[in-house]
Chain A
């Protein structure tokens, strides 16, 4: 009886909270679908004209393209450099590992504005193109997520004993890494990649301070449009949210399938204790 009552108030609190969280999304969507909404509580008409206009705007299309190019370039650098680094550090360099743990708090200690100040000090007017500097800055900004993401995946598959087993069976480190570790952390890597993808895609601070209007990404386009035509800007934001929500749905789907896989593995462990290694090793 008592718990029921508590549940009602919990539901009430969460309903109010959800409404508060949803309100800005709803109002932006309504704004994107109307032509006039300034003196009434609800918009007076309904239209898709802004979305049509948006798709036809070459500036919008090139802003999306620029954001995607920047995101993919940086992601490639981050993955190629960080996956082997975190693996090696986790396995063989515990001293470096404890240093890298400190990195996790870095974005709170050194906000984007400070990083941009340092980068501008060093590279403005130099021969290194600002685009490369931006990629480098974003790389630094993503280190905490990447480090934690990769490290958690490595821990969850018990990398150390897997590598040991592979070495006893005669595989060298590189083979063990490529054929055993990589396939097993694939899912965790994908989740981390998607998280970093959405943060790069919506990046503003570094892009705006380092390159600014000369390289108009989606967020900078949004801000410029916001000061010209709010309805069109809302249409940009709505499309952007839809993309973000899609990405997070994929992440949840992957996370839950990862959990299922883990549970399956655990169940197998109980019944066929010795087959554990076989289920993990590819082929």
Chain B
């Protein structure tokens, strides 16, 4: 009786596994196998990897993506911590309202964001005209359509993303800890160094990894802002698999496999490190 019911309910899981197989697992396996097939003969080969790893154009794409992601996540993380901390000092009601708007802002990416930044910082952007009127050459060397411009644009969605993860963990720090530390004679600085920071350190590290991965995977914003002019991994892969003139789907798959391996490694290593940090804490 019991067994029969068990069998019946596993049947209900079939749609989920079928869809996952059709649209995630099998496509990923095909992508991996096709990265090992020759473009001309279709036989097994390693030449795609050889080409991707030796062609400076391709590893430059990884370097560019990595650089933009690291800068936008480090700066974004610092600002996210400052803003989250400031938020915890406000009345509950305002905090609730702010989290809603931050949620909206974290989703404000892609085409609309790119265009808003063109209006603000583009070649005839508002800030450019503003500083020109003041005779300040602050932006004269700045180019929005360069990797610096991309990093600044990414920052706009990285900060709210960081807050979404940092703010809840800051809220968990108990007021009692602070009071206890002060009672025992700790200064504010000493409290943060010995109690506050260590207790949120795992979530800071985890947030950094998520922000970095988010930056690496960004396609829409970069595409809307620079077309295919900036050599990023996502832009390169997209052009290789769907471009009309330069389409080389097999090389695109090879890049995608390497990209996926890097991302998965980063996530696994960070999870392992986080576990260790947590153990040390307890």
A residues apposed to B, CB below 8 Å: 3, 6-7, 9-11, 13-14, 17-18, 21, 23-25, 27-28, 31, 37-41, 77, 81-82, 84-85, 88-89, 92-93, 96, 105, 107-124, 133, 136-137, 139-140, 143, 173, 198-199, 202, 204-205, 208-209, 212, 219, 222-223, 226, 230, 233-234, 237, 240-241, 244-245, 248-249, 251-252, 256
Contacts and interface: CB of A to CB of B under 8 A. Distances in A.
A120 B242 contact: yes
Contacts of B28: 110, 118
13 contacts: A7-B90, A13-B83, A14-B98, A39-B124, A88-B9, A88-B12, A110-B260, A113-B238, A117-B249, A139-B19, A140-B23, A202-B107, A240-B112
Interface in B237-282: 237-238, 241-242, 249, 252-253, 256, 259-260, 263-264, 267
Contacts of A226: 111, 114-115, 224
Interface string B171-194: 000000000000000000000000
Interface of B: 5-6, 9-10, 12-13, 15-16, 19-20, 22-24, 26-28, 30-31, 34, 79, 82-83, 85-87, 89-90, 96, 98, 100-105, 107-108, 110-120, 124, 126, 129-130, 133, 156, 159-160, 210, 213-214, 216-220, 224, 234, 237-238, 241-242, 249, 252-253, 256, 259-260, 263-264, 267
Contact of A219 (B83, B104, B110, B216): B110
Given A88-B13, A118-B30, A209-B241, A10 B90 contact: yes
Residue of A7, A109, A140, A251 with most chain B CB atoms under a 10 A cut-off = A109
A27 B260 CA distance: 37
Contacts of B234: 111, 113
B86 A121 contact: no
A236 to B, nearest CB: 9
A187 to B, nearest CB: 17
B104 A245 contact: yes
Contact of A81 (B15, B120, B159, B256): B15
Given A10-B85, A204-B111, 18 more contacts: A13-B82, A13-B83, A21-B101, A21-B102, A21-B160, A27-B116, A39-B129, A41-B126, A88-B12, A89-B13, A113-B237, A114-B259, A121-B241, A133-B23, A136-B23, A198-B107, A222-B111, A256-B96
B27 A122 contact: yes
Nearest to A172: B5
